[in-house]
Amino acid sequence: MRELDYNNSIAITREIYWVGFYDETSKLHCNPYLLIDEDDVLFFDPGSIPHFPVIMRKVIDMVNPSELSLIIASHQDPDICGNLAVLEDVISRSDLKIVAHTNSIRFIRHYGVQSGFYHVNDNDFKIELKSGRKLEFFFTPYLHSPGAIATYDHQSKTLFSSDIFGALDDNWSLFAGSNFPKAMDSFHQQYMPNNAVLRKFMERLENVDIERILPQHGSVIEGPKVQLAINHLKNLSCGIDLM
């Protein structure tokens, strides 16, 4: 087992970092991630107001805030977008863009953000960074939000999966441990609509070359655990299946 210092950012790869707040009093852990590319720094699901001081300290330890060029908001929930308005003040960059689906952007505006939006659905569900690196967005409606997206980085074969593959966990660790994959069950049973919608996305992922999944809750899933996780959720009843 790796010994991890949750008081500081944690490297997942040489260019992807976890910058979350480890809340020992909660089963729900939120995972914001930085992707540091050559001329762009991307911030995935930056998080809430209560977590902001710790998250921002970790970001500043890694980069100058003015280097952040793109914020990816997988959907409009407060655990993802609550700190957007203060974050963009700290970044203070007129060309900062918030990347999201239009179905989410309608609600994200209500956080009082000033930045421009990059509507993934108007851009062929793709974005190319200044370096030429390509990111692809998977539209995952109702998992769990009507505008939810996941982001796939072709270069590192990483899926930033948002709430999908999330977990509620009493015994949390950043990397999936002994309670995997069962730790994902109760979160999906409570927050995902049903097996049919979840299964459809799992079947899409079976054709994607994924080395690691970085969910916004729960734990990072790597290597052979990726296929185990996909198979597990493919067969999980949830939401209205259980009513």
Nearer to Fe ion, 88 or 163 (CB): 163
Nearest Cα to Cα of residue 179 among 239, 221, 234:
221
Q: Give the shortest CB-26-to-Fe ion separation in angstroms.
A: 12
Which is nearer to Fe ion, 37 or 163 (by Cβ)?
163
Segment contacting Fe ion (CB under 5 A): 5-13, 112-120, 198-206, 215-223?
A: 215-223
Asked if 190 and 184 count as a contact pair (C-beta separation under 8 A), the reply is: no
Q: Exactly one of 37, 40, 77, 169 binds Fe ion (CB under 5 A); which one?
A: 77
Report residue 198 as tokens.
Answer: 């979840």
**C-alpha distance across the termini of the chain, in Å:** 39
Residue 79 interacts with Fe ion (CB under 5 A): yes or no: yes
Region of 16-24, 79-87, 134-142, 223-231 interacting with Fe ion (CB under 5 A): 79-87
Q: Note whether 163 binds Fe ion by CB under 5 A.
A: yes
The one segment of 53-61, 107-115, 167-175, 211-219 that binds Fe ion by CB under 5 A: 211-219
Name which of 45 and 153 has its Cβ closer to Fe ion. Answer: 45
- Whether the Cβ atoms of residue 10 and residue 30 lie closer than 8 Å to each other: no
189 and 137 Cβ atoms separated by less than 8 Å: no
Going 50 to 148 to 153 to 201, the CA torsion angle's sign is positive
Least distance from C-beta 48 to Fe ion, angstroms?
Answer: 10
Residue sitting closest to Fe ion (CB): 77
Instruction: Give the binding range for Fe ion (CB under 5 A) out of 6-14, 16-24, 160-168, 178-186.
Output: 160-168
Helix ranges (H only) for the chain are 52-62, 78-81, 84-91, 102-108, 185-191, 195-205, 225-234
Stretch (H or E) spanning 189: helix 185-191
Cβ 191 to Fe ion, closest distance in Å? 7
Distance CA 130, CA 133 (A): 7
Residues in 5-34 that interact with Fe ion by CB under 5 A: none
| Helix, strand or coil, per DSSP, at residue 68 | strand
Applying CB under 5 A, which residues contact Fe ion?
77, 79, 163, 216
